[in-house]
Amino acid sequence: MGMTATQKIFARHAGRERVTAGALLTAEVDLILGNDITSPVAISEMKKAGDRVKYPEKVVLVLDHFVPAKDIRSAEQCKTVRDFAAEQGIRHFYDVGKAGVEHALLPELGLVRPGMLIIGADSHTCTYGALGCVSTGVGSTDMAAAMLTGRLWFRVPEGIKIVLEGSLRPYVTGKDVILTLIGMLGVDGATYRSLEFFGETDSLSAEDRLTIANMAVECGAKNAFFPVDDIARSYLSSRGAEFSEEDVFLPDEDAAYERTLTLDLSEVMPTVAFPHLPSNVKVFGRDVPDGIKIDQVVIGSCTNGRLSDMRAAASVMKGRKVADGVRCIVIPATMEVYRNCLDEGLISVFLDSGAVVSTPTCGPCLGGYMGILAHGERAVSTTNRNFVGRMGDVTSEVYLASPYVAAESAIRGVLACPEV
């Protein structure tokens, strides 16, 4: 029986000709990612076991969750990472003014390339599989071990094959695709599996794929994988990411997948995950009730804070006003996205509509700052999780949606999608 693409990448990094699902192995990693929340713990643990990073060029440290620092504690966490980066000669260190939301920033910088094995002390590290690599979230102690040795142990995941057919409708995005898939699988339906996507992917932009891969963990997946095609090549080239054809992996024809699911993209409709699970999905025109009043909208995050997301939101909001009683917070995911929004006039669109625009931060996604919800408030958000208390008070509610839906909801003051 052949290997999946994910298994082939693990085999390469473990120095083996072949691996099978369930095998335990130690593999060389190409990138080790940490942020201002998870890195301080890793740094502390690493210093207990040793004092030097083995491969400083492989470590990427991004200050993004509570930056600019929201309080003394977050300032101290940032200082810990800042000092460590200087001490260890970490070249890939991104602070305020150069940073951005990590999972939008690394592909933008060209640090992600096909065939890589990437770990990050953040669960949404699975984002990078959109570009033909294996990437997965780990704990801070695992990050510490990888910084010390350049290696980490893994259990090789079983694979689930997702066959895509058809093309996306207008106002339907990668966010709707992954919410639909999570609804099909459930929040634990792909636990410790790799999700590998094939078929008719031409209507999915690189940004759509990054969004889909980003939320693979919300159905329990260890990683997501898209094969490298012309769309991925064009994106990688635009970011200066160099690679060879030896880095491009496809599954064997007789690869052993645990199961195969087929999803017709032409049947995917604007979709919302209702509280309090990403799998609690409802579809506009079918089972989304009318008149669900909202208090806040957040457009941004590592899931939907890229330039294409900003453009989508602005296309809905241009010439219109945010509804009275609604707070609309727009957060470009990186400084490059922020500058492009300025250059294209998108920030003026947002400000003219009555929204506010923040510098890049994860902030409200994890209930950190820049948009905390009070008792009983509802938010429509382009983020990736809507668990109880995720964005504020435990009685608040978060509805996950695409930038189109979030923008239309901000304008109308109720959960809504643009009319096709």
77-93 pLDDT, tens digit each? 999 999 999 999 999 99
- Kind of pairing between the strands at 151-155 and 24-28: antiparallel
So what's the pLDDT on residue 51? 79
Rounded to the nearest 5°, which phi and psi values hold at 137? -80, 145
Q: Given this model, what pLDDT does residue 167 score?
A: 94
Using CA atoms in the order 126, 189, 306, 93, what is the torsion angle rounded to 10 degrees? -20
The yes-or-no verdict on residue 420 having pLDDT over 80 is no
Q: Which two tokens mark 47? A: 């210093």
Cα 378–Cα 285–Cα 208 angle in degrees, nearest 5 = 75
Whole-number pLDDT of residue 93: 98
State the amino acid at position 378 in one-letter form: R
Domains and CATH numbers, the chain: 5-265 (3.30.499.10), 273-412 (3.30.499.10)
Q: What is the model's pTM?
A: 0.95
For residue 289, pLDDT beyond 70 = yes
In angstroms, the CA 100 to CA 106 distance is 9
In the prediction, which pLDDT does 150 show? Answer: 96
Spatial separation of the C-alpha atoms in residues 250 and 232, rounded to whole Å = 14
Q: What is the pLDDT of residue 320?
A: 97
Tell me the C-alpha distance between 188 and 192, whole Å.
Answer: 9
The alpha carbon torsion through 66, 69, 74, 77 (nearest 10 deg) reads 100
Average pLDDT, the chain: 96
Q: Which helix (H) or strand (E) holds 351?
A: helix 346-353
Residue 194 has pLDDT above 90, yes or no: yes
What residue ranges in 63-183 does DSSP mark as E strands?
92-94, 117-120, 134-137, 151-155, 158-165
Query: What pLDDT does 285 receive?
Result: 86
Query: Which pLDDT does position 100 carry in this prediction?
Result: 95
pLDDT above 70 covers a percentage of the chain that reads 100
User: Quick one: what percent of the chain has pLDDT higher than 90?
Assistant: 95
